Structure 1
Amino acid sequence: MADGSALMRNEDGIAAALGVLKQQFGERFQTGEAIREQHGHTTTWIANQMPDGVVFAQSTEEVAEIVKVCATHKVPIIAFGTGTSLEGHVNAPAGGISIDVSQMDKVLEVNSGDLDCRVQPGVTREALNTHLRDQGLFFPIDPGANASLGGMTATRASGTNAVRYGTMKDNVLSVEAVMADGTVIRTSSRARKSSAGYDLTRLMVGSEGTLGIITEITLRLQGIPEAISAARCSFPSVEAASKTVMAVIQYGLPVARIELLDTQVVRGVNAYSKLHLPEGPLLLLEFHGSEASVEEQAETFGMLAAEDGGSGFEKTATLEERNKLWQARHDAYWAMLAMRPGCKAVTTDVCVPISRLAEAVTTAQAKAEELNLFAPIVGHAGDGNFHASLLIDMDDEAETERAKVFVSWLNDMAISMDGTCTGEHGIGQGKRPYLVKELGAGTVNVMSAIKSALDPDNIMNPGKILPL
């Protein structure tokens, strides 16, 4: 598990930058240990690597000022939104300055007629949807956590609605970004398509702060459906549930969400969320559309599920019941933690072609059992993406080593199936060793060339994505 600790600190440059930023930003520049530790926060087993200072920026112009100071003194810069990333993205392996954009939290413009909006990076997905609700619009990307839209863009986030509405790459029309020399660029217009030059929007989406700091995002919106219905269905095995998912996709059923929970997760969710779901592999679904189409989708799904042994199929259109069901899915992380108190949850994700999902999940379950690990699995089954959450006693060195073996094996297994080592968490530090395995040295060398051209001093989130 390489963590970027081989990067060298620029002690003189950091000291100089700290002095300048303190003078420029006063109380909005902090160097206290507690706040620095918060901004080196990581939800993996990678050690916390604190920045040397944290600046709370309030505008694009301020971000540009900070970047210029850091560029002058060759000091690393790490963007910070809400800190919900899972692969060490906000760590500062060579020290430097964390730019906290949480105070850049304005919805700048909503164009309801064009179904788009422009937001600052600190706006969270929940805040945006609250703002949009009275206009009959919503933003569909839902990674579970109430993440910032800047962070979601930078990590190319996905989530439960991806099977119908796509991922961040499909829903970002344009970004404004501050590049490594302090230059401010806008990557595109609001037009829904363009053939004008390189697609810099797609370059910035998923760049994890290694090429620039995103300061505005133009997002595609959706109309709130006329009707929404949620459903659940139990299966005799994960394999049977996965076969139904494959049938749903091949049939062309336009489900909005289709989530897989294994038996361990269902058991934890029942205890944590006070539900009474049958304790076996479970699919949770959501259908969007007109009243008639939602009803038709549910009926078709029920037919497909029955062919694979699905049982206990229930649907509901009431808001309260739908929210209860999906809140239980979003609380799965906390439910799993409660199943093994005192342990740390290390969540890792992979994504495979839909046709390999059943094989991948059942093989992962068998590997966890072989290694004597407690590793509940949930999945955004509609696009072949699943998460294994290992509950680890971090004081047990042998168990921790077995967990590392499992994570490495899982990444290699997904790649061997022509899948990816990360469907939505991003590379960060934790997944970096697998990038060359997945894409090949030639492809990664092209990425490195782009990084070197745009950030020759390697100050933009160094130690992430690319091999050291």
Structure 2
Amino acid sequence: MDQILDLHPEDFDVTVEPAVTRKTLNAYLRDTGLWFPVDPGADASLCGMAATSASGTNAVRYGTMRENVINLEVVLADGTIVHTAGKGRRPRKTSAGYNLTNLFVGSEGTLGIITKTTLRLYGIPEATVSAVCSFASVQAAVDSTVQILQAGVPIARIEFLDDVMMDACNRFSSLSYPVVPTLFLEFHGSERSLEEQVNVTEEITQSNEGSDFQWARDAETRSRLWRARHDAWYAAQALRPGCKAYSTDVCVPLSRLPQIIVETKEDLMESKLTGPIAGHVGDGNFHCLMVVDPSDPDELHRVHLFTERLARFAAHIQLPLISNETSM
């Protein structure tokens, strides 16, 4: 079940079977001027990405799988075959009936097995440029992220790496960036629109005392930069050879992102834990890539307590403030 079944370039959509991966699809699309942008890092299967509602570095501009799945063929537990938008249909909106497609996207196989998915495609950008910008503090880096999005810059990627993560990436990927909180950015568009995006973004980062951008314009340099970001898991694990790694994953409103990342960093230091931070901060999402000695019960206990505090704080920080005064 590894076939790319129906490509409709004029409608910007394609239908694929479960074994088709995102890299396979984009290689197939290369000569059409189209691409599928959802990029969780791994060369995952597209039906699997639909089942998990995968996100990734491009989600800030192009959305997650939830925004990019048009129709699904699903086999239910009793063998019934369901087409969530109707058999052979490729609607761009869901104005009539139940939105079954989004019911199954992210259901992780619990409601049925996805055997085909119809996906939204995009035009390959005329021009692409990436940049790296360093900051003196976590607060400044995340404040810049929030302000860039508030300014309406249609940025394609904006990724945050803290100082520990940058050190790990430098070592693992043979880079030489400053070991400080850092943003990896990428801009898509026409040459003229890129100039405007970059100018606005540079003004914002400089107002937060960010360094001058280190540019990655050619495809090889950009590929190396984003490969280092995608290899962050392996880079973190390499900080402590012989240890195991796992990732936390929380998402909060953008306005609360600076606070939670700063407080998470403080908690990691107080708990004496190794947890480099990286995240798709354009979505308010970040990960602590915890590196743990599985033979150390005390460290495992501290990690358990830390992750519980992080999850509770992420849930609590999203609640509206409640006045102590009783309304009359």
- Structure 1 position 151 matched with structure 2 position 48: yes
Distance in 2 (CA, whole Å) between partners of 1:255 and 1:160 is 11
Residue 144 of structure 1, CA deviation: 1.0
Instruction: Report what 1:181 is aligned to.
Output: 78
* 1:132-151 equivalences in 2 (<5 Å): 132-151=29-48
TM-score by length of 1: 0.67
- Structure 1 position 214 matched with structure 2 position 114: yes
* 1:331-350 equivalences in 2 (<5 Å): 331-350=231-250
Higher mean alpha-carbon deviation, 263-272 vs 315-324, is at: 315-324
Instruction: Report what 1:114 is aligned to.
Output: 11
TM-score by length of 2: 0.95
Residue 161 of structure 1, CA deviation: 0.4
From 231, 238, 262, the equivalent of 2:131 is 231
Q: Is the 8 A contact 2:206 2:212 kept in 1?
A: no
Instruction: Give me the identity figure in percent.
Output: 52
From 231, 255, 276, the equivalent of 2:176 is 276
Instruction: Report what 2:190 is aligned to.
Output: 290
Cα offsets for 1:344-365 (capped at 9, x unmatched)? 1111110011111111111111
From 383, 399, 404, the equivalent of 2:304 is 404
Counterpart amino acid of residue 306 in structure 2: F
Aligned residues: 316
Counterpart amino acid of residue 121 in structure 2: L
Question: Is there any run of 5+ residues in structure 1 with no aligned partner, and where?
Answer: 1-103, 420-468
Instruction: Report what 1:385 is aligned to.
Output: 285
Distance in 2 (CA, whole Å) between partners of 1:310 and 1:303 is 9
Residue 312 of structure 1, CA deviation: 3.2
Cα offsets for 1:203-223 (capped at 9, x unmatched)? 000111110000000000001
* 1:364-383 equivalences in 2 (<5 Å): 364-383=264-283
SS at match of 1:387: strand
From 188, 196, 203, the equivalent of 2:103 is 203
Higher mean alpha-carbon deviation, 296-305 vs 210-219, is at: 296-305
From 31, 55, 66, the equivalent of 1:169 is 66
Instruction: Report what 1:446 is aligned to.
Output: none
Distance in 2 (CA, whole Å) between partners of 1:283 and 1:405 is 29
Residue 314 of structure 1, CA deviation: 2.0
Counterpart amino acid of residue 195 in structure 1: S
Counterpart amino acid of residue 310 in structure 1: G
Distance in 2 (CA, whole Å) between partners of 1:150 and 1:367 is 37
CA RMSD in angstroms, aligned pairs only:
1.0
Distance in 2 (CA, whole Å) between partners of 1:403 and 1:127 is 38
Residue 252 of structure 1, CA deviation: 0.4
Instruction: Report what 2:324 is aligned to.
Output: none
Residue 317 of structure 1, CA deviation: 2.0
Instruction: Report what 1:47 is aligned to.
Output: none
Distance in 2 (CA, whole Å) between partners of 1:182 and 1:239 is 52
Distance in 1 (CA, whole Å) between partners of 2:255 and 2:2 is 41
Residue 108 of structure 1, CA deviation: 1.1
From 164, 167, 172, the equivalent of 1:264 is 164
Distance in 2 (CA, whole Å) between partners of 1:331 and 1:195 is 41
SS at match of 1:209: coil
Cα offsets for 1:120-140 (capped at 9, x unmatched)? 122111111111111111101
Residue 315 of structure 1, CA deviation: 2.1
- Structure 1 position 416 matched with structure 2 position 313: no
Q: Is the 8 A contact 2:169 2:232 kept in 1?
A: yes
Counterpart amino acid of residue 165 in structure 2: V
Higher mean alpha-carbon deviation, 129-138 vs 197-206, is at: 129-138
Distance in 2 (CA, whole Å) between partners of 1:129 and 1:409 is 40
Instruction: Report what 1:77 is aligned to.
Output: none
- Structure 1 position 321 matched with structure 2 position 221: yes
Cα offsets for 1:161-195 (capped at 9, x unmatched)? 01000111100001000011100010112011132
Instruction: Report what 2:325 is aligned to.
Output: none
* 1:79-94 equivalences in 2 (<5 Å): none
From 123, 128, 133, the equivalent of 2:25 is 128
Residue 326 of structure 1, CA deviation: 0.6
Residue 316 of structure 1, CA deviation: 2.8
SS at match of 1:113: helix
Distance in 2 (CA, whole Å) between partners of 1:409 and 1:148 is 33
Residue 340 of structure 1, CA deviation: 0.7
Counterpart amino acid of residue 230 in structure 1: S
SS at match of 1:311: coil
Distance in 2 (CA, whole Å) between partners of 1:361 and 1:123 is 36
